[in-house]
Amino acid sequence: MRRCLIGDLLVAADHVAGMAGAERTRHLARLFTEAHAAHRYARRFGRPHPLWGDGSLMARVRAECPLPKGPLDLAALAAVATSLMQFRDERRGSRTLVGPPDAC
């Protein structure tokens, strides 16, 4: 996924503002995964993904819901930021090619 800027976070927060906790978490995980896949597609083929955009979180959210819904929900913004941190941490952990920490 492309680097997330404040606009990406705000659009995603607006998108998930009305969702319940578990549903919000699942939806955000899917959005992050699809934005990441779209970014890989765009880098490989030199054009945006036909459904998910250029790999930014904003493009992915806008592909699903083009217009903002209403005022900013700070709880939704916090959920987006937390989910983004978890997604990034999981991606960093999956890049390791060595075994468990105690293997050496």
Question: Would the pTM of this model clear 0.95, i.e. be above it?
Answer: no
How do residues 51-96 score in pLDDT, each as one tens digit? Answer: 999 999 999 999 987 776 677 789 899 999 999 999 999 988 766 5
How do residues 14-29 score in pLDDT, each as one tens digit? Answer: 999 888 889 999 999 9
At residue 48, what are phi and psi to the nearest 5 degrees?
-65, 155
